[in-house]
Structure 1
Amino acid sequence: MSEDIKSYTISIYTENNIGLLNRVSAIFQRRHINIESLTTSQSEIEGVNRFVIVVNICENQAKKIVGQFEKQIEVIKAYYHTEDETIFTESCMFKIKSELLFEEPQIQNIIKESNTRIVTVNKEFFVLEKSGRRHEIEALRRDLNVFGIMQFVRSGRIAVTKDEMRITEMLDAFNN
């Protein structure tokens, strides 16, 4: 009986050491697992970073990968969660020719209807920023693509869990 493939968000709390990103990606590479999204930033505790990695795998693989991460010296704790167990979002930016903002009324409608924010406008271009689920960002990209996008960038997922993880107490104990 094969397990269901789902989207899992893997969170890894780590010390900030050189070379850790290579070892993290190697764990996925050895298992032939594609990383859909990877974001790293400081966590809620000073001196502790957090990786947020999205992968499409079965739960058994998620458990094994989390176990592999926890064997790394710099890793304090690793978790995996389903989409139902997390609150998550992504951000993106679009750079578009300024003349379109004034000559194409449909663009103004798209901006308003998609809750997109204008970050900057100058003579050559304007920049839009949107946060939301990936499907919302992709829909906006399809709508704007008709008019021509000069540049597009999307962040990786950022996520928090719905349940209290008590990671702060653990990290405080680690730091003291």
Structure 2
Amino acid sequence: MENQWFTISVYSENNVGLLNRISGIFLKRHINIESLNVSKSEINNVSKFTIVVHTTENWTRKIVGQIEKQIEVIRAFYHTDDETIYQESALFKIASDLLFDERQIQNIIKDNNSQIVTVARDFFVLAKTGRRFEIDEMYEQLAPYGIMQFVRSGRISVSKDEMQISALLQEFQHH
């Protein structure tokens, strides 16, 4: 089995220490978490962890099984990139004079469908949403001009297939 990208979705009660225990499951197996996002889900009082890993399906299946054994975890799923719709967001902080002095900067903004979030005397901030490679491409284009600060979010994703959320919700409400 070869390594590929998997998105693991974990639906859980939002309890202190769960993130630590989940990351410990990956640590024990020496599997790096490439991206992590935690947010509220479509179910009231239920959090969704979105974890991206690059490993084999066999390891991913074992990890999901271990995650589901955590008491607060309601359900965990994994999907390949083909089975999900996903995005990341990034912010780029750039020196303000470049916006006016370097014509190419304006082309980079336009060509990457990014937005200027704010402009201050010394800097401006660009926001870009897209796939990881699209954000990487924009980074490469801006790097020669100097990036003052850069930050990227973890992956957010939804599965293409239905995730039986109504069954999940009923199961959770009976606890």
- Find the partner of 1:156 among 142, 154, 157: 154
Residue aligning to 2:30 = 32
Structure 1 residue 46 displacement after superposition: 1.1
Query: Could you list the runs of 4 or more consecutive aligned residues of structure 1 that deviate by over 4 angstroms after TM superposition?
Result: none
Q: Partner of 1:95: helix, strand, or coil? A: strand
Residue aligning to 2:106 = 108
Structure 1 residue 4 displacement after superposition: 1.4
Q: Partner of 1:45: helix, strand, or coil? A: coil
Aligned pairs for 1:14-163 (under 5 A) are 14-163=12-161
- Find the partner of 2:173 among 148, 172, 175: 175
Please tell me whether the aligned partners of residues 45 and 172 of structure 1 are also in contact (alpha carbons under 8 angstroms): no
The code of the aligned residue for 1:41 comes to S
Give the whole-Å Cα distance in 2 for the aligned partners of 1:138 and 1:163.
28
Q: Partner of 2:172: helix, strand, or coil? A: helix
Q: Partner of 1:90: helix, strand, or coil? A: strand
Paired residue total: 174
Cα shift readout 1:55-78 (whole Å, capped 9, x = no counterpart): 011111111111101110000000
- Find the partner of 1:5 among 3, 13, 17: 3
Structure 1 residue 167 displacement after superposition: 1.6
Output the aligned Cα RMSD: 0.9
Task: Using structure 1 for the length normalisation, give the TM-score.
Answer: 0.96
Give the whole-Å Cα distance in 2 for the aligned partners of 1:121 and 1:168.
44
Identity of aligned residues (%): 61
Please tell me whether the aligned partners of residues 97 and 150 of structure 1 are also in contact (alpha carbons under 8 angstroms): yes
Task: Using structure 2 for the length normalisation, give the TM-score.
Answer: 0.97
Unaligned runs of 5+ in 1: none
Give the whole-Å Cα distance in 1 for the aligned partners of 2:155 and 2:121.
32
Give the whole-Å Cα distance in 2 for the aligned partners of 1:89 and 1:138.
13
Unaligned runs of 5+ in 2: none
